[in-house]
Amino acid sequence: MTLRTGFLEHRRAQQPRRPVAERLRDQREVYLPLPLHTARQQGSRCMDCGVAFCHSACPLGNLIPEWNDLVSRDDWYEAAVRLDATNNFPEFTGRLCPAPCEPACVLALADEPVAIKSIEQAIIDRAFAEGWVRPEPPPHRTCRRVAVVGSGPAGLAAAQQLNRAGHLVTVYERSDRIGGLLRYGIPDFKMEKWVLDRRLALLEAEGIVFETGYEAGGATLPVATLRERCDAVVLAVGAERSRDVALPGRELRGVHQAMEYLEQQNRRTAGEVISDGAITAQGKRVVIIGGGDTGADCLGNVLRERCEAVEQLYLYPEPPGSRQAHNPWPEWPLILRTHPAHEEGGTRSFARMVTGFGGEHGRVTRVTTLEVTPSAAGRHNFDLVEGSEHQHPADLVLLAIGFDGVRDLPLLDDLGITRTEPGAIAVDGGFATAVDGVFACGDATRGASLIVTAIADGRSAAASCDAYLTARH
């Protein structure tokens, strides 16, 4: 790197967003591309730290200082080469990753961090525009066959790495289209599906085979057939078992899991007509229970459906706006997160515990909550505030309270897969299960996590699977 003074000359630039009134009329991406000259300025803010905490905070180990420097020098091709060295899908992470690298930036100690995520997206978008991203089929084939079950980010990363090692890879997906949560969980206003389809076309051109409509372990693909066809199996089945609540009124119509709603919305955006069991927020009073990305995704969708009103309920007290002394740099900051959807409408209520649902004629009309305060017994314990009961009008309730692990699958039982107490697939340090030749990765092994972690896990599981195949054969 050359001498760095950009952090003294330039302020952090936020990636531009489309106006709220405009974006509420469609499902297109909220963020606009970062202008190239702005990306160069932002790259020059990198301080050439002696210890790059941004690099260590990234689960993929992205070479962040290197591509920051190259962008600042206007060497976009080499920046794209550095980005590709560690990240299979930077066009996904540049849009969807919460960027744990940024709060770990040394500049964040006294200033705003380098706009790492925006620079990453600018690099890969430029690489695609210039035609630098091309299929990379392996120069030779090993004739070893690997089945990857699940086509989310972990499964796709594992498949690409194993394919590049020369193995014959088939990805099995139980849904009708490839992509997992990238297709049916992530709204288009965060990442339009052409971005996913463009990458899938490249993976197919590299030789990966995609099979949809296969419930591995079920009638369409029994375990015996799977093991007979393949020399190894990688399980990337996600953590799809949504947390639920055992509260009075849970059985009322209009109370749904968030992912039920999000999948339908993604299908509607893709042009499908949902007839049976359609969930819609149009003209309704909506209550979203839970924060985080899933709750924000629901919020953005119900606003685009023109709901009458929407309120988001949080169990925990409102977080502070900045780091507290007990949460020092470079830890992940425990602060209030504001997503673009929060600019678009709705209200947020903190420190409210849901105690039940009320309704009329079998349909929900209200959510009952009590105010809570943190208990001395610990972070996950609360004291109820007497006399604080409140009724929240609701025609639609969406539960966005997290996930409890892998759903019950005949595949796992038939393979003899061991699970951990939280419901994840048990693996060793190399992502190998206790079953010979079977590996697992992503949310299936750790619970719901970040897209960047899923890709990193997929790469690691592929490396272990490749070593297994090489040693065995």
Copy the structure tokens of residue 117.
Answer: 């995520």
Q: What is the band of 37 on the pLDDT scale with cuts at 50, 70, 90?
A: very high
d(CA 234, CA 174): 15
Copy the structure tokens of residue 174.
Answer: 């139980």
Count other Cβ atoms within 10 Å, centred on residue 195. Answer: 21
d(CA 443, CA 153): 10
- pLDDT > 70: percent of the chain: 99
pLDDT at 1 (0 to 100): 45
d(CA 201, CA 459): 20
**Domain 255-399 maps to which CATH number in 3.20.19.10, 1.10.760.10, 3.50.50.60, 3.40.50.1370?**
3.50.50.60
Q: Where in the chain is the domain with CATH 1.10.1060.10?
A: 6-129
d(CA 431, CA 418): 13
d(CA 371, CA 386): 8
Give per-residue pLDDT as tens, 216-237: 888 889 999 999 999 999 999 9
User: Measuring CA to CA, which residue among 453, 427, 470, 429 is closest to residue 235?
Assistant: 427
d(CA 438, CA 185): 27
The mean pLDDT of the chain is: 95
391 DSSP β-pair partners: 368
Whose tokens are 């692990």? That residue is 405
pLDDT at 26 (0 to 100): 97
Copy the structure tokens of residue 398.
Answer: 């969406």
DSSP for 327-379 reads S-TTSPP------HHHHHS-EEE-SEEEEEEEEETTEEEEEEEEEEEEETTEE
Q: Is the pLDDT of residue 4 over 60?
A: yes
Q: Is the pLDDT of residue 2 over 60?
A: no
Average pLDDT of span 102-109: 96
Average pLDDT of span 439-458: 97
d(CA 253, CA 3): 63
Note the pTM of the prediction, 2 decimals.
0.96
d(CA 44, CA 13): 12
Domain 6-129, CATH homologous superfamily name and number: Alpha-helical ferredoxin (1.10.1060.10)
Whether residue 319 contacts residue 335, with contact meaning beta carbons closer than 8 Å, is answered with yes
Write out 95-129 in H/E/C secondary structure: HHCCCCCCCCCHHHHCCCCCCHHHHHHHHHHHHHH
Q: Does domain 145-240+404-472 match CATH 3.50.50.60?
A: yes
| 3-state secondary structure (DSSP) of residue 170 | strand
Q: Is the pLDDT of residue 276 over 90?
A: no
Whether residue 421 contacts residue 134, with contact meaning beta carbons closer than 8 Å, is answered with no
Copy the structure tokens of residue 83.
Answer: 């980005």
Range scoring the smallest mean pLDDT among 185-194, 399-408, 449-458: 399-408
Q: What is the band of 473 on the pLDDT scale with cuts at 50, 70, 90?
A: low
Helix or strand holding residue 256 (H, E) = strand 255-257
Whether residue 250 contacts residue 166, with contact meaning beta carbons closer than 8 Å, is answered with no
Average pLDDT of span 58-77: 96
Give per-residue pLDDT as tens, 423-432: 999 999 999 9
d(CA 396, CA 322): 33
User: Measuring CA to CA, which residue among 21, 177, 4 is closest to residue 107?
Assistant: 4
Q: Where in the chain is the domain with CATH 3.50.50.60?
A: 145-240+404-472, 255-399
Whether residue 15 contacts residue 34, with contact meaning beta carbons closer than 8 Å, is answered with yes
d(CA 261, CA 398): 8
DSSP 8-state code for residue 207: T
pLDDT at 3 (0 to 100): 54
Q: Is the pLDDT of residue 265 over 60?
A: yes
Whether residue 230 contacts residue 146, with contact meaning beta carbons closer than 8 Å, is answered with yes
DSSP 8-state code for residue 242: B
Whether residue 330 has a cis bond before it, omega within 30° of 0? yes
User: Measuring CA to CA, which residue among 41, 377, 431 is closest to residue 443?
Assistant: 431
Q: Is the pLDDT of residue 332 over 60?
A: yes
Across 36-112, the runs of DSSP E, i.e. the strands, are none
Residue 48 phi/psi, 5° resolution?
55, 55
Whether residue 324 contacts residue 334, with contact meaning beta carbons closer than 8 Å, is answered with yes
Whether residue 383 contacts residue 375, with contact meaning beta carbons closer than 8 Å, is answered with yes
Residue 365 phi/psi, 5° resolution?
-130, -10
pLDDT at 330 (0 to 100): 93
d(CA 364, CA 254): 6
